Structure 1
Amino acid sequence: MPKGQGLLIAQNKKASHDFFIEETFEAGLVLQGTEIKSIRGRRVNMKDSFARIDYKGEAYLHNMHISPYEQGNRYNHEPTRARKLLLHRKEIDKLIGETQQAGYSLVPLKVYIKNGVAKVLIGLGKGKKKYDKREDLKRKQAKRDVDRALKNNF
Structure 2
Amino acid sequence: MHQLRRRDRRPARRVPSEPPRRPAFRLTAGGADVVLVGYFSAKQKDFDTLMAAAATELGAHGARVLAQIVQRRGVSDGGVRKMGLPYSSRTLLTYGKVREVAQVCDRTDADAVVFVAPLTKRQQRTLTDILGRPAVSLTDVLAAD
TM-score, length-normalised on structure 1?
Answer: 0.21
Greater RCO, 1 or 2 (C-alpha within 8 Å, sep 6+): 1
The answer to which structure has the higher strand fraction is 1
Greater gyration radius:
2
More helix by share: 2
